[in-house]
Chains A and B, each alone.
Chain A
Amino acid sequence: MLVAFCLSACAPKQKTPLVVFAAGSLIQPFDEIEKAFEKNYPDIDVQAEYHGSIQVIRHVTELHEPIDLVASADQALMPMLMYQVNIPGTNQPYANWHIKMATNSLAIAYHADSKYSSEINPENWWEILSRPDVKVGLSDPRFDAVGYRQLMVFSLAQKIYQNPNIFTNFLKDQFTHPIRLIDMGDMQIIRIPEVLETTRESHIMMRGSNVALISLLEAGEVDYTFEYESVIQQHGFKMLKLPDNLNLGKPDMDTEYGTVTVKMDFQRFASVEPIFKGEQIIYGLTIPTNAPHPEQAMQFIEFLYSPEGQAIMEKNAHPLLLPAVISGEANLPERLRKYFQ
């Protein structure tokens, strides 16, 4: 107890903690933002954690952790998992506004030693990635946005390359419980089982989030992995860009992207059934209604949108979406209003 007391009280100067939970793909720019922010606000201690985008929100809504700022790689998760869910004992939702913060595009990351790296191109990638001797990374679609988005790409590819077997060829026999694609003509539904484990002979390596796959790509454990373009550029990997109608990065293609939907075959969340519809990748940023330090969180957002913050994001190949679009604008805190009008 004495130790605990000392740990909490003997620290030289009390700093206000600012707990930030963000998508793994934001780790590099946000790490720099954190350092610059702390230099400007020496009395605030930013405590950042990075997870898959679904996990980031679950820490707020299901693990009930006190979190000040949430940044998710899929802004659609916020209305779905935070607006609709009330904080226990209140009739307030976990969030009722969010900023559409940035975009991104999906691409394939690889390195010079990746198998068939001299052959791969935008026309044949799906065939090369389905070869049994090629190791491909997949972040867990149950927890991470890259995961379900990668599955969407394989489904959309079937129409674009006019080959109805692309999805199956990549995923068949790779999991102990299969991921299924239900083709309804103009709509495709991907169903994810509750237990998702690769088979022993699988050429797919699955991890909880795409950040873990970066290390495996560096170590040569996987030949290719799907990743956001910003992250590939930050790490200097080789990048195979996907066509616009596949990379989920273009603003005017939601009707095409939207032909595919990912559903979970199980009750994952207490009150909502998550359905992920194909659409342009847009990151979301919000302060949970029950954030312990909302003022500091607003200072962080202000800093992010300051010229210095914008420059850091740009340097990391992840520019902010400007002018920012607000969802639930009526609920945006007064203090932030002047920035986002």
Chain B
Amino acid sequence: MKTRLPFGFVIAASLLILFILLPVFVTFFSTTLEQLLETITDKDVAHSIGLTFLAGGIATSLGLLFGLPLAYILSRGNFPGKSLLMGIVDLPLIIPHTAAGIALLLVFGRMGIIGGLLGKLGVYFTDSLGGIVVGMMFVSLPLLINSSREAFSSVDIELEHSARMDGAGAWQVFWRITLPLAWQGVLSGAITMWARGISEFGAVVILAYSPKIIPVLIYERFQGFGLSSAIPVAALLLIVVLILFALLRWLARSANSS
């Protein structure tokens, strides 16, 4: 039997979809093709987009490297303080991003615990790629870890057990059994982390105003040069991100169905 939905739900849902799509469409149609072309050929915009995607990529890679072990521990381990640990993972979600930026500045700044040490080696986080990566990573990590933890949890633990009985080591079980079965959830977590990372403004702008990532550049143009200067950049970014996002989603889906 066909599921019958309350009519009110359909209206509520449609309004919400409109709420998401309307600003996106209005931004597109507020810019002309000519402005868009001009923006595409703007060296500073291209450079900024490249920098933003690169920093998001590095943040996500680091997130995978350190976050997958944590997600696996949280999914399989049973130990006291586990829920506390899960709470800590969620912490960046509730900290206002400007506050996160200040907290990161205190640790990664020139006088910070980590920033001060690495500064002696000539590695600086303020106004540098490192600061951008740190800012993006901090605010977006929970998305990857939570999605991966759920993906690991959905893998049948019996499969792992039988592999262990067949003599596979813990590392082999993870690498050969769990990860291949969970990878769709992991990838989707990585995509959301990357997308969240590249859209970060508050935490990044405090650590690194320059080199300017796209959200900072859009803000600077809006503040300094007006709406007409900011819209084409925002529209271009929306287009690029939508294409990439659709591509990645499609990749994840086709990998799943094959």
Contact A205 B126 (CB under 8 A): yes
Q: Which of A185-220 contact B (CB under 8 A)?
A: 195, 197-198, 200, 205-208, 212, 216, 219-220
A158 to B5, CA, bound (A): 78
> Would you give the 0/1 interface string for A50-68, flagging 1 where the beta carbon is closer than 8 Å to chain B?
0000010010001100000
Q: How many A-B residue pairs have CB under 8 A?
A: 46
For B227, list chain A residues within 8 Å (CB).
63
> Would you call B212 and A197 a contact (CB within 8 A)?
yes
Q: Are A220 and B223 in contact (CB under 8 A)?
A: no
Q: Quick check: B106 and A219 within 8 Å, CB to CB?
A: yes
Q: Do A200 and B128 form a contact, CB below 8 Å, given A143-B223, A208-B223?
A: yes
Is the CB of B225 closer than 8 A to any CB of chain A? yes
CB pair B110–A220 under 8 Å, yes or no, is yes
* Chain B residues closer than 8 Å to A142, beta-carbon distance: 224
Is there an interface contact between A220 and B209, defined as CB atoms closer than 8 Å? no
Report whether B209 and A55 are in contact in the complex, using a CB–CB cutoff of 8 Å: no
B126–A221 touching, CB < 8 Å: yes
Residues on the A chain within 8 Å of B106, using CB: 219
B211, A200: Cβ atoms under 8 Å?
yes
Contact residues, A73-109 vs B (CB, 8 A): none
Among A58, A140, A197, A200, the most chain B Cβ lie within 10 Å of the Cβ of A197
Q: Which of A55, A195, A220 has the most CB of B within 10 A?
A: A220
Instruction: Please tell me which one of the listed residues B44, B105, B220 contacts residue A208 in the complex, with CB atoms under 8 A apart.
Output: B220
Q: Do A195 and B110 touch across chains, with their CB atoms under 8 A apart?
A: no
The residue on A at minimum CB distance from B125 is A221
A198 touches B210 (CB 8 A): yes
* Interface bits B133-174 vs A (CB < 8 Å: 1, else 0): 000000000000000000000000000000000000000000
Cα A158 to Cα B210 with chains together (Å): 29
Q: In the bound complex, do residue A55 and residue B110 qualify as a contact, i.e. CB atoms below 8 Å apart?
A: no
Chain A residues near B220 (CB-CB < 8 A): 208
Q: What's the nearest-Cβ distance from chain B to residue A310, in Å?
A: 33
- Asked if A15 is at the interface of the complex by the 8 Å CB criterion, the answer is no
Q: Which of A55, A205, A220 contacts B111 (CB 8 A)?
A: A220
Taking CB atoms, residues of chain A closer than 8 Å to B210 are: 197-198, 206
Interface residue A268 (Cβ < 8 Å from any Cβ of B): yes
Q: Are A221 and B226 in contact (CB under 8 A)?
A: no
Cβ contacts under 8 Å, A62 to chain B? 226
Is the CB of B127 closer than 8 A to any CB of chain A? yes
Given A205-B127, A219-B109, the answer on whether A268 and B212 have CB atoms closer than 8 Å is no
- How far in angstroms is the closest Cβ of chain A from B24? 22
Chain B residues closer than 8 Å to A197, beta-carbon distance: 44, 210-212
Mask for B178-215, Cβ within 8 A of A = 1, else 0? 00000000000000000000000000000001111000
Give chain A residues whose Cβ lies under 8 Å from the Cβ of B127.
198, 205
Complex Cα spacing A207 to B207, Å: 11
* B110, A221: Cβ atoms closer than 8 Å: yes
Bound together, the chains give a CA A212 to CA B127 distance in angstroms of 13
Q: Which of A243-299 contact B (CB under 8 A)?
A: 268
- Please indicate the chain A residues that have their CB under 8 angstroms from the CB of B224 in the complex: 55, 140, 142-143, 208
Contact flags (1/0) for A119-146 with B, using CB distance below 8 Å?
A: 0000000000000000100001011000
Distance between Cα atoms of A268 and B105 in the complex (Å): 33
Residues of A138-183 at the interface with B, using a CB-CB cut-off of 8 Å, are 140, 142-143
Would A220 and B109 count as touching, CB distance under 8 A? yes
B35 to chain A, nearest CB (A): 16
Interface string of A13-37 (1 = CB under 8 A from B): 0000000000000000000000000
Residue of A200, A220, A268 near B225 (CB, 8 A) is A268
Q: Tell me, in angstroms, the Cα distance from A135 to B106 when the chains sit together.
A: 18
Contacts of A200 in B (CB 8 A): 128, 211
Residues of B within 8 A of A55 (CB): 223-224
CB distance B209 to A207 under 8 Å? yes
Could you tell me the distance in whole angstroms from the C-beta of A196 to the nearest C-beta in chain B? 9
How distant is the Cα of A62 from the Cα of B126 in the complex, in angstroms?
32
Given the complex, which residues of A lie within 8 Å of B209, measured CB to CB? Answer: 205-208, 212
Bound state CA distance, A156 and B127, in angstroms? 29
Q: Which residues of A contact B111 (CB under 8 A)?
A: 113, 219-220
Which residues on the A side are within 8 Å of B225 (C-beta)?
A: 268
Q: Which of A212, A219, A268 contacts B110 (CB 8 A)?
A: A219
* Beta-carbon nearest neighbor of A267 in chain B: B225
Which chain A residues border B109 with CB–CB below 8 Å?
A: 219-221
CA distance A212 to B207 in the complex (A): 11
Docked Cα-Cα span, A60 to B127, in Å, equals: 31
Residues of B within 8 A of A143 (CB): 223-224
Report the separation of the CA atoms of residues A142 and B229 in the bound assembly, to the nearest whole angstrom: 15
Top-4 shortest CB links A-B: A220-B111, A219-B109, A220-B110, A221-B126
* A-B residue pairs in contact (CB < 8 Å), sample of 22: A55-B223, A113-B111, A143-B223, A143-B224, A197-B44, A197-B211, A198-B127, A205-B209, A206-B209, A207-B209, A208-B220, A208-B224, A212-B209, A216-B126, A219-B109, A219-B110, A220-B109, A220-B110, A220-B111, A221-B110, A221-B126, A268-B225
- A interface, CB within 8 angstroms of B: 55, 58, 62-63, 113, 135, 140, 142-143, 195, 197-198, 200, 205-208, 212, 216, 219-221, 268
A55-B223, A63-B226, A197-B210 known; 13 new pairs, CB 8 Å cut-off, are: A58-B226, A62-B226, A140-B224, A142-B224, A197-B44, A197-B211, A205-B209, A206-B210, A219-B105, A220-B110, A221-B109, A221-B126, A268-B225
